[in-house]
Structures are given as structure tokens and as C-alpha cells.
Structure 1
Amino acid sequence: MAIYDAREYTTRTYEWAVPNGCVADEFDKAWAAALATYRRVHGLPEDAAPNDGGWLRVYAGDGEVVLRFDVREAGR
């Protein structure tokens, strides 16, 4: 007889997009907004750095660069 646990999660995704070829200042603003949101979502102080260097993923898409992170929430 197999013994196992089942779990259900909900994933909340946060994204910011800037156009390809935008000036660095615009990319930096999106990155800063993502960092501020990450801190707020995780209850970190304003000066805290994320523990994981992989907290933010950056993708080049159709005409834009997307900054994204996901938060997994336990199901009920």
C-alpha cells in the first residue's frame, strides 16, 4: 500500500515589462518596482536584499523585456 501526501498550491505572478531597446533608466525603474514589491510581499524591510539571487527572472519577449517573480501560496 502506498503512503503519500497531497498538496495544493496557488502561484501568484508579478510582472513588469519595458520595451526592447529602452534606456537603462526605464529598465532600472521596473527593476526597482519589482524589488519593492518583492520586499512588500515577503514582509522584508526596505533595505533588505533578497536571499536568493534568482528571485527575479528576466525574459526577452516580442518587443519587450519582462521582469517576473512568482510567489507560491499554500492551498486551503
Structure 2
Amino acid sequence: MATYTTEVVRRAVHRWVVPAAEPWGAASDEITKAWGAAAVAYRKAHGLPDDASLPGDALWFHVRDDEVVIQFTTKQ
């Protein structure tokens, strides 16, 4: 008899991509807009009230060659 189980976990990655072309990088107002939109989407995806504070690890920021990416994941 088998003594193991299996799982398939599907995740959706939600991303906001802000251009950050050299030599100037990303504008702070564009980062702020994307961050705000990501926070709203995170709250909606997790059923949180509009004024709920986000956990410190809710959103992740990644710097790529010519863009800044803000993202979070959800289970599908």
C-alpha cells in the first residue's frame, strides 16, 4: 500500500510592469500608481476591506533590465 500523496498546486501571478529605461530609470509617480493598483488588486483577491493594511510580504518588487515589476501570487 502506498504511503504518499500527491498534489498539484496552480498559482496565478499578478504583475504590474513599470518601464525603467536607462539612464533615468522608473519615475516615482509611475511606481506609486502601480503599487497602489497592485495593493487594491491584492485586497480584492484576498477578500480584504479597502482600508486593510497589507502584510509586509504581500507584494514583491523585481528589478529587470529596463523595468520594475510588482507582483503577488494567488492559488487558482
TM-score of the pair, normalised by structure 1: 0.84
Q: State the match for 2:34 in structure 1.
A: 30
Counterpart Cα distance in 2 of 1:32 and 1:16: 10
Q: Secondary structure at the match of 2:4?
A: coil
Given that 2:19 and 2:67 are in contact with CA atoms closer than 8 Å, whether structure 1 keeps it comes out as yes
Counterpart Cα distance in 1 of 2:5 and 2:39: 34
TM-score of the pair, normalised by structure 2: 0.84
Q: State the match for 2:56 in structure 1.
A: 53
Aligned residues: 72
Counterpart Cα distance in 1 of 2:53 and 2:3: 40
Counterpart Cα distance in 2 of 1:5 and 1:53: 32
Give me the CA root mean square deviation: 1.3
1:68 to 63, 66, 71: 71
Gap runs ≥5 in structure 1: none
